[in-house]
Amino acid sequence: MNKGKENKPHIGIYGRRNVGKSSLINNISGQEIAIVADFKGTTTDPVKRSFEITGFGPVILIDTAGIDDEGEVGKLRVQKSLKTLKEIDLAILVISENIFDVEEENLIDQFKKEGIPFFIIHNKSDLVKLNKDLQKKIQEKFNCPVIDYSVETNGNIEVLLNTIKELLPESSWKITSLLGDLISYGDIVLLITPIDIEAPQGRLILPQIQTIRDILDNDCVAIVLKEREVDSFLKKTGIKPKLAITDSQIFLKAAASIPRDIPLTGFSVLLARYKGDFDNYLIGTPKINDLKDGDKILILESCSHHVSCDDIGRVKIPRWLSNYTGKSLEYIVIAGLDEIPGKITDYALVVQCGGCVLTRKQVISRLKPAVEAGVPVTNYGMLIAFVQGIYDRAIEPFVKSNDADLNYL
């Protein structure tokens, strides 16, 4: 399941079968948006539902299958439910009838492993009240709120909603800026946007739209033009932009047109810093020079899309990387959030796209296994800048020369 463009806080609802997870979602949202039945196993696959918490904003609730599902198919359902931990910002563990055992403890261990804040709801309290000793034991052992609740009486709904608001990480909902620390009121930013076969008909690509909006939000001026108009524009107007941003694929052409005293970077590099693992990209990108014949390169695309004959991830990056290194390399491309084949240590380099349709949580989680295993990671734009010989300039707006070794090219 892909968060995709649902760039809102995601809340996962977990627990055994028939503890009332789907009923809880309907109760929280005030809508019949999840299927409810009296028999176990009604929810088979994770399902996303969107609603707005009054006074807070929109969130996505994820209804999941029971963690005690049985049989071979049941195990697959549980695995699908656990995969959602890579996407969520907050977990709610639902229990009932004071049943709290190894299944719940194992799930909490998974929450902690992924760094996910969580709390527990003891549901169906109209039938069986929460045992105070159990509540105290859970709170002391796991340091989390435990709320006695009933979807029938709706008595503690405000406590529940306030707990969600308090525990959701600020990073999951607070809107940050792509360029806020680089530009000031009234600055002019030049956006060089080639229109090629990968650009949607009649529209700009998402990173360009996001950048334009961010420039306007910072009370600055965005000038948008195609690459062949840059020289003429600068000559005729005499304007000196505070910053120039280009599509990564034409870094060399843009660098030739933009004077050296004007900072230049790429849309993909912006996204690498905004929602990627930028510090590890800085470490991993130079490792391109260490690639050897036979090395496997893993390319991670954020979205599934129609593949063109000159696709950036599947065609251009492999061609540029192979030409630069002079090595015989094997490329594996994974779209969306599909499983990565083999072990992460099978790969000599992981290349993540800008992640324009993902959240930072998703990108970081996607790269985490590689980072923990010591496999170098980089980003589309940073890789392209590196192999085209202008890496220093592309990262210069974000990295002081004394903070990184920029003398390896």
- pLDDT, tens digit, 9 for 90 and up, residues 199-248: 556 668 788 898 999 999 999 999 999 999 999 999 999 999 999 999 88
Mean pLDDT on 44-49? 74
The residues, ordered by sequence, that sit 6+ positions from 402 with a Cβ below 8 Å of its Cβ are none
Residue 238's CATH number: 3.40.50.11420
* Model pLDDT, residue 58: 85
Residue 142 falls inside a structural domain: yes
Asked if residue 305 has pLDDT above 60, the reply is no
Residue 327: which CATH number?
A: 3.40.50.11410
Residues 232, 253, single domain; the answer is: yes
Structurally, the chain folds into a number of domains equal to 3
Same domain, 280 and 348: yes
In a domain, 356, yes or no: yes
Q: Which residue has the higher pLDDT, 1 or 12?
A: 12
Residues 17 and 67 in one domain: yes
Q: Are residues 259 and 302 in the same domain?
A: no
Range of the domain at 92: 10-173
Secondary structure of the chain in HEC code, one letter for each residue: CCCCCCCCCEEEEEECCCCCHHHHHHHHHCCCCCCCCCCCCCCCCCEEEEEEECCCEEEEEEECCCCCCCHHHHHHHHHHHHHHHHCCCEEEEEEECCCCCHHHHHHHHHHHHCCCCEEEEEECCCCCCCCHHHHHHHHHHHCCCEEECCCCCCCCHHHHHHHHHHHCCHHHHCCCCCCCCCCCCCCEEEEECCCCCCCCCCCCCHHHHHHHHHHHHCCCEEEEECHHHHHHHHHHHCCCCCEEEECHHHHHHHHHHCCCCCCEEEHHHHHHHHHCCHHHHHHHHHHHHHCCCCCEEEEECCCCCCCCCCCHHHHHHHHHHHHHHCCCCEEEEECCCCCCCCCHHHCCEEEECCCCCCCHHHHHHHHHHHHHHCCCEEEHHHHHHHHCCCHHHHHCCCCCHHHCCCCCC
Are residue 35 and residue 142 in the same domain, yes or no?
A: yes
Shared domain check, 323 and 248: no
243, 187 Cβ separation under 8 angstroms: yes
**Mean pLDDT across the stretch 314-339?**
91
For 331-360, what is each residue's pLDDT tens digit? 999 987 778 889 999 999 999 988 777 778
pLDDT at 226: 93
Indicate if 169 and 192 belong to the same structural domain.
no
Do 313 and 388 belong to one domain?
A: yes
Which residue, 147, 173, 199, sits at the end of a domain?
A: 173
In this prediction, residue 6 carries a pLDDT of 47
Among residues 123, 138, 173, the one where a domain terminates is 173
The band of 11, judged by pLDDT with boundaries at 50, 70 and 90, is very high
Give residue-wise pLDDT tens across range 365-408.
Answer: 889 999 999 999 999 999 999 999 999 999 999 986 334 444 43
User: What is the CATH number for 67?
Assistant: 3.40.50.300
Bigger pLDDT: 35 or 275? 275
Is 338 within a domain?
yes
Residue 217 lies in a domain: yes
- Encode pLDDT of 119-178 as tens digits: 999 999 989 999 999 999 999 999 999 999 988 887 778 899 999 999 988 766 666 788
Q: Is residue 70 part of a domain?
A: yes
Residue 368 lies in a domain: yes
pLDDT reported for residue 408: 38
Q: What is the pLDDT of residue 41?
A: 47
The residue from 222, 240, 269 where one domain ends is 269
Same domain for 377 and 248, yes or no, is no
Residue 181 lies in a domain: no
Q: 206 lies in a domain?
A: yes
Q: Are 250 and 293 in the same domain?
A: no
Query: Do 127 and 240 fall within a single domain?
Result: no
Note whether 144 and 198 are same-domain residues: no
